[in-house]
């Protein structure tokens, strides 16, 4: 991969890293357990718990993404970025455009 492309993806990855970290920070409270004595009615308490479930699921996904982004950044540093970790073929640029943290080609994914 040419250096200017690598820089472009590195910038995308750093931005994504920032966004994900910001999300994880801001959603911390929403993911905390719904307190039983919060003074909510029965229905709104159920809603609050459903919301909490959604936030927790989203956080799980974001945490996985965060780990992938970090790996991708270290692969840029090692010079192996953009190659499939299974077959070491180049990953299609269109794929990296959508998700710069992907580490597998379309065939191996
Ligand atoms: Zn592959």
pLDDT tens, 51-109?
999 999 999 999 999 999 999 999 999 999 999 999 999 999 999 999 999 999 999 99
The whole-number pLDDT of residue 77 equals 93
Task: Give the model confidence (pLDDT) of 42-66 as tens digits.
Answer: 778 888 889 999 999 999 999 999 9
Instruction: Please give the residue range of the domain that contains residue 15.
Output: 3-81
Domain membership of residue 9 (yes or no) is yes
Question: How many other C-beta atoms are found inside a 10 Å radius of the C-beta of residue 33?
Answer: 7
User: Does residue 10 form part of some domain?
Assistant: yes
Distance 83 CA to ligand 1 centre (A): 8
CA 86 to CA 14: how far, in whole Å? 24
Q: Is residue 70 part of a domain?
A: yes
Task: Compute, in angstroms, the gap from residue 40 CA to the centroid of ligand 1.
Answer: 51
The reply to whether 100 falls in a domain is: no
Domain tally for the chain?
1
6 CB contacts (<8 Å, ≥6 apart)?
A: 76, 81, 82
In a domain, 104, yes or no: no
Structure confidence at residue 2 (pLDDT): 86
Residue 60 CA, ligand 1 centroid: distance in Å: 25
Q: What is the pTM of this model?
A: 0.83
């Amino acid at each position: 991969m040419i250096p200017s492309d690598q820089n472009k993806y590195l910038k995308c990855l750093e931005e994504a890293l920032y966004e994900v970290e910001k999300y994880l920070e801001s959603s911390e409270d929403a993911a905390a357990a719904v307190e039983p004595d919060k003074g909510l009615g029965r229905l709104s308490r159920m809603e609050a718990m459903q919301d909490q479930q959604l936030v927790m699921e989203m956080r799980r996904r974001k945490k996985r993404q965060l780990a992938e982004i970090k790996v991708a950044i270290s692969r840029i540093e090692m010079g192996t970025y953009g190659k499939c970790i299974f077959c070491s073929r180049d990953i299609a640029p269109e794929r990296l455009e959508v998700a710069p943290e992907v580490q597998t080609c379309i065939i191996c994914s």
